[in-house]
Amino acid sequence: MSASEHLKHPTLECLLSGKPSASTIQYRGLKYASIPRRWAESTSNDALQIDSNRVFDATRFGPSCPQKRGGQAWDVSLVGDTTLAKEFGQGDDAKMDEFECLHLNITVPKTALAAKNTDGVGLPVFVWVHGGGLSLGSNSWPQYDLTKFVERSVRIGKPVIGVAINYRVNIFGFLASEELGIGGNLGYKDQAVAFRWIKKHIAGFGGDPTNITAAGESAGGISLSTLLCANIGNEGLFERVVIMSGETTLRKPRNKKWQEAMYQDQLKYLGASKLDVADRRRLFNETDAEELVQRLPLAQHFCGFIDGKWLKEDPTLMSLANPRSKLHKPDWCKEFVIGDTAHDGTILKARILDAPNTFDHLQDLCSRHLTPSQTHALLSAYQLHPPPPPAQLPQHLLHLASELRFYLPVLSAHRGWTTSSPPLRAHRYHFHIANPVPGPYKGLSSHELDVACLLLNFEHAFDAQSYAAALQMADRFVRFVNGEGWAEEGCVVVFEGRGAQEVEVGAYDKRFRGGRGKVLEGIGEERVWGLAEAWQGVRGEEGVEGRGARL
């Protein structure tokens, strides 16, 4: 790239060389924050490492947060038996660095760069927060590349700028321990710093800092939902948000006692339970970061910490649904979208669906958490009473796991926004596109297939009809990012094989879910959430018994 092709960035005070595509340029590895030391909160970084010509080479991906190797391929397997082309640094050969992992990839339409020195308003900005169960993931993974999404926005005449953020995961982002002096929530706080950096510097890329839409799926959705509950001040992080297949109660922030039990799990995994305090501190503070995580499971049930300062309140489905509570409904977020996939429970296959005697366990838990009439209503709604033939049982359990963990929270969070006084701008979507990719989830509207459709990185694995439906999904998001609204008032958006359609809110549950959402709401959020947590095997806070679920 010649000097004339370099982006001269006014607030970063340097030139940037990026990676071009047909209609975009992607600026990679833009370090937005520094980490002073292990377990410390990150601080905003405005000085990129430049060469003698004041140029920052933004053609290469930055390092990932240290995590167990193999996560990228495992994540793709949630879509099906396929692979994605990778550049160096995108897969198992990705560099890991605990202190250099906080960076952004910014994908910009070439037209925006050509026009950015005019007096016009900048382009709307789409910020993607990756998933991975808060245990793994990276903005460099090819399934999270925003190039095709931004190219699509250009093609339909509604260009946007795409930003993919990195944040600390697993123990480096979410461990909390009094013994180690770790306050928790570091990964979430990293994300807040990233959004502040974007607000400050996106104009230099041709973006509008007052027109930011954040979106994330699974742990990304959990993250954004948790940020809506956090004490971040009156200056907002984004103007719109799309929370996909996971909100804060799916990984509900926990109290000190629960977090200490999680710390004890790490000691067991590392064979350090019998070490004295000084040796445990040395182990956690001085062991090489990548060596440390390779000795831990691929994924654990990490979550936020209710520390009384950054996360002051205990978010529950009841508080999210309560129109009188400001929790999860901050004034700075002006528009809210939340949704799920019909078979999100595929992500719980190992924890619930494949567990030995899972149906017997469910019935036992129903007797503990529900009344007899509630148990009858629940099991009947999912065709589990009387018990179905063994060959049909997995399908009904999948529907139940999906709707306990994902569908009911969508209904609850959406209701909290729309029943506030005055009503807040909130919308729903539901994803019913059948998975076209060979593998264990073919034919299902499986967890993470929505990301494959939205970001358009699996065209090679999709048939023509499925890819056409994916384009409609991407177009709907692009229009929303451009401020054109989500759906007609009183309607939800349904993504299905024929594309996107709007369905009246009152008709959706009966038409697409057999009225089961009404049954779950009738039982009540608190009871249903407690049942779901227990069925998944998540450690409870009362008495802190059991083990934390892996996913």
pLDDT reading at 304 higher than 70: yes
Question: Quick check: 462 and 476 in contact, CB under 8 A?
Answer: no
Mean pLDDT of 294-307: 97
**Would residue 545 count as lying in a domain?**
no
Can you give the pLDDT at residue 91? 75
Q: Residue 268 falls within a domain, yes or no?
A: yes
Considering the domain architecture, whether residues 455 and 525 belong to the same structural domain is answered as: yes
Query: Using one digit for the tens of pLDDT, what is the confidence trace for 436-490?
Result: 999 999 999 999 999 999 999 999 999 999 999 999 999 999 999 999 999 999 9
Tell me the residue range of the domain where 124 lies: 6-295
**In this predicted structure, what is the pLDDT of residue 93?**
80
Rounded CA separation 384/260 (Å):
38
> How many CA atoms lie within 13 Å of 121's alpha carbon, on the beta-carbon side?
9
Statement to judge: residues 433 and 526 lie in one domain = yes
Tokens of 52: 């003698």
Rg (CA), the chain: 23
Q: How confident is the model at residue 113 (pLDDT cuts 50, 70, 90)?
A: confident
Q: What whole-number distance in Å separates Cα of residue 87 and Cα of residue 100?
A: 19
> Could you tell me if 507 and 534 are in contact, meaning their C-beta atoms sit under 8 angstroms apart?
no
Write the CA distances from 320 to 74, 208, 411, integer angstroms. Answer: 32, 30, 10
Tell me whether residue 546 is in a domain.
no
257 DSSP β-pair partners = none
Please name the residue ranges forming H helices in 156-185: 170-174
Whether residue 325 lies inside any domain: the answer is yes
How far apart CA 229 and CA 35 sit, in angstroms, is 24
Shared domain for 267 and 389, answered yes or no, is no
Q: Are 133 and 228 contained in the same domain?
A: yes
Among residues 263, 295, 327, which one ends one of the domains?
A: 295
Question: Alpha-carbon distance 258 to 381, whole Å?
Answer: 34
Q: Report helix, strand or coil for 208.
A: strand
Residue 472 near residue 117, CB atoms below 8 Å? no
The pLDDT of residue 544 is 43
Q: State whether 53 and 189 are in the same domain.
A: yes
Residue 176 one-letter amino acid? A
> Is residue 97 domain-shared with residue 235, that is, in the same domain?
yes
User: Domain total for the chain?
Assistant: 2
User: Is the pLDDT score of 546 beyond 90?
Assistant: no
| Span 75-111, pLDDT tens digits | 999 999 999 999 987 877 889 999 999 999 999 999 8
169-196 pLDDT, tens digit per residue, is 999 999 999 999 999 999 999 999 999 9
Q: Which CATH number characterizes residue 282's domain?
A: 3.40.50.1820
Q: Is residue 309 part of a domain?
A: no
Does a structural domain hold residue 129?
A: yes
Q: 266 and 370, same structural domain? A: no
112 with 215, same domain? yes
**Do residue 271 and residue 397 come from a single domain?**
no
Do 287 and 336 belong to one domain? no
pLDDT of 162 over the 50 cut: yes
Provide the pLDDT for residue 437: 98
In a domain, 245, yes or no: yes
Residue 411 inside a domain? The answer is yes
In this predicted structure, the answer to whether residue 1 has a pLDDT above a threshold of 60 is: no
434 within 8 A of 380, measured Cβ to Cβ:
no
- Residue 175 CA to residue 185 CA, distance in Å, equals 8
What pLDDT score was predicted for residue 116?
Answer: 60
Same domain? For 288 and 330 the reply is no
> Which pLDDT tens digit goes with each residue over 127-154?
999 999 999 999 999 999 999 999 999 9
Last residue of a domain, one of 260, 295, 330: 295
- Could you tell me if 247 and 339 lie in one domain? no
